[in-house]
Chain A
Amino acid sequence: MQTSHPAIQLLIGERGTQVFLALLLTVGVAAPIMHLAFPEGSALHLSSYTMTLMGKYMTYALLAIAVDLVWGYCGILSLGHAAFFALGGYAMGMYLMRQIGTRGVYGDPLLPDFMVFLNWKELPWFWQGFDMFWFAALMVIVVPGLLALAFGWLAFRSRVSGVYLSIITQALTYALMLAFFRNDMGFGGNNGLTDFKDILGANINASETRVALFLTSAAALGLGYLACRYITLSRAGRVVQAIRDAESRTRFIGYRVESYKLWVFAFSAVLAGIAGALYVPQVGIINPSEFQPINSIEIVIWVAVGGRGTLYGAVAGAVLVNYAKTYFTATIPELWLYALGTLFVIVTLFLPKGVVGLADKFALRRPAARTVTA
């Protein structure tokens, strides 16, 4: 019993992964078929709204995995990941703005509407290149990645950790929010970027585009999941967990803790950026409210609710909490934050391993029962 303990854990880990991948594959195949092949009004038809909603949840799930990697495995409680998500979103939004071309209200071939409105005469330097998809896609990765590297380098090198690190990540996202709110920053201020028309030449609201965005999100989630799982199963993954459990001890046996933390943090930021870039074309808008400090805290709650340090728990948490949020904000919006807070307290007090921890408990009992009946 005792010697098989890690083996059992690994099996359950595998099972969680299997369930997740099977579900992702099923949803990824079924949803587009139900949307495209069945006519509206058919019982099997999936509305464009629902499919886009599911695509949005997938980008949230990818974001949750990113946070689970740094928090659940490496012990870095980042309360600023929404910033990386939003930056990825802005990079994509800038591409989508430039795709509008002359179809804007002012019809300027080069300048997005808000710049014409502000009486700007030419495109700022940092908007150059965003008419090309490959460049925007590169920026989706480079901008959050570089910011995380710079921020992490400063923070980890001076050994800022624990609650202090959490606070400065909150400060980071808050500072970015204030900056993006300003009109003269050149990112559309308060209103952000919206009224998108095309992506890669295809109408962004067409059914086929929606399906393509949904499928890309599903693929990004699957690949992001597998990448994180690869990392956590490698020797590096065990080093990262050792850092989480006993940082200075890990340093003494010869690991450059700062560099491990830095690269895990940056990789996680890149995943968050990709999630943001896929989120924006599906919801049709990106504005500074995405940088709100509360958003980053919410992501951590998703992960806590799902169960941290498992990856699939983060996915489960993101989907469950956001489903609840969609439901609440449609029916009793003023209660949402209270519900979220209560949920967090309940999970912290009674479900330290989250929803998947609970599921594991039941799963552990079942095989025993099955062998008896077999």
Chain B
Amino acid sequence: MNASTAIRNGWQKVFGAGARGARPAPGDTSHGTILYLEDISVSFDGFKALNALTLYIDAGELRCIIGPNGAGKTTMMDVITGKTRPDAGSAWFGQTTDLLTLSEPQIAEAGIGRKFQKPTVFEQHTVMENLELAVAGHKTLWTTLRSPLDRRQHERIEEVLETIRLQDRRSMRAGMLSHGQKQWLEIGMLLAQEPRLLLVDEPVAGMTPQEVERTAELLLSLAGKHSVMVVEHDMDFVRSIAHKVTVLHEGHVLAEGTIDEVQNDPRVVEVYLGE
């Protein structure tokens, strides 16, 4: 893999792919893998939050990431979305997009959407306006100043409203939604951006059982069309959605497999019991 990384880097230098101009579509997944994280290390004041983390996500996959508090799950998402720059390693979106060279908005534009651990919708804006802010399209000041949404964007918003079942809440201020509804709105905002890869951090924390169930349905309905990476502590929830689970511990991958495989892995048991 390192050799191919080197070749890719060389290719980039010569042909400037990933830069502006006639570049291949971001997140080109002709090899079936949408996200490559290799040997990623991040340290905060000497403390290694990520330690040579290597992880691959397939196109269309729904992957669950579990791990004890402080394992580095959120930090990993920070690296993928450009919020934190790693000290070492490489992060590629598909074959052609080097995430480490892109800014946060460029990464969002390339097709990676993120749902934060805390629900962060725009509380002063209505549900509709939240989706309008998120919907895919040109987001430069020049465009947003002059033109309203086009028909395709309107249709997209309607579609998303239906998926997240908030049609009858469209003109409500987002701040007045219930906790679960806010989480769905936030997922809806991700969908409106038409991302290739969705990063979802602890979606069901604080939800009622019905809301949890509804969220599982929602995420399952997304797999296939999108690649989804879900961080979650709730094991029942993980069991209800996951095909493949990755366990993070102290900044690197401890185990990977089906939920039954990892739950029976002695190293995983030790980490969780050792808490």
Footprint of B on A, CB under 8 Å? 2-7, 231, 234-236, 238-239, 241-242, 245-246, 248-257, 259-260, 263
Contacts and interface: CB of A to CB of B under 8 A. Distances in A.
B108 A6 contact: no
Interface in B133-189: 133-134, 139-141, 144-149, 171-173, 176, 189
Contacts of A238: 125, 129, 132-133
A245 to B, nearest CB: 6
B83 to A, nearest CB: 8
A2 B120 CA distance: 21
Pairs of residues from A and B, 6 with the lowest C-beta to C-beta distance, nearest first: A236-B144, A254-B108, A235-B144, A236-B145, A253-B134, A249-B120
A4 B113 CA distance: 31
Contact of B104 (A7, A234, A241, A252): A252
A245 B124 contact: yes
A3 B128 CA distance: 12
B140 A256 contact: yes
8 contacts: A2-B172, A5-B173, A7-B171, A235-B144, A241-B122, A251-B105, A254-B139, A259-B141
Interface in B66-103: 81, 83
A213 B193 CA distance: 50
Nearest to A231: B145
B234 interface: no
Given A231-B145, A234-B144, A239-B144, A253 B171 contact: no
A346 B147 CA distance: 41
A322 B176 CA distance: 38
Contacts of A253: 108, 113, 133-134, 139, 189, 193
B114 interface: yes
B109 interface: yes
Given A2-B176, A7-B171, A255-B105, A249 B132 contact: no
Contacts of B141: 236, 239, 256, 259-260, 263
A6 B147 CA distance: 22
B171 A245 contact: no
A82 to B, nearest CB: 26
B126 interface: yes
A242 B133 CA distance: 8
A251 B173 contact: no
A231 B145 CA distance: 7
B172 A5 contact: yes
B265 interface: no
A254 B145 contact: no
A252 B108 contact: yes
A254 B122 contact: no
Contacts of B105: 251-252, 254-257
Contacts of B144: 234-236, 239
- The majority secondary structure among interface residues of chain A is helix
Contacts of B132: 235, 238
B85 to A, nearest CB: 14
Contacts of A256: 105, 139-141
A249 B122 contact: yes
Nearest to A250: B133
B261 interface: no
Given A238-B132, A251-B105, A256-B105, A246 B172 contact: no
Contacts of A246: 120, 122
Given A253-B133, A255-B139, 20 more contacts: A4-B171, A5-B173, A6-B171, A235-B144, A235-B148, A235-B149, A236-B144, A238-B125, A239-B139, A239-B144, A242-B122, A245-B122, A246-B122, A248-B83, A249-B122, A251-B108, A252-B81, A252-B108, A252-B114, A254-B193
B133 A239 contact: yes
Listed residue (A248, A249, A253, A257) with the most chain B CB atoms within 10 angstroms of its CB: A253
A258 to B, nearest CB: 9
Contacts of A5: 171-173
B171 A3 contact: yes
Contacts of A255: 105, 139
Contacts of A254: 105, 108-109, 139, 193
B125 A242 contact: yes
A253 B134 CA distance: 6
B123 interface: yes
Contacts of A4: 171
A245 B173 CA distance: 14
A236 B122 CA distance: 15
A245 B144 CA distance: 18
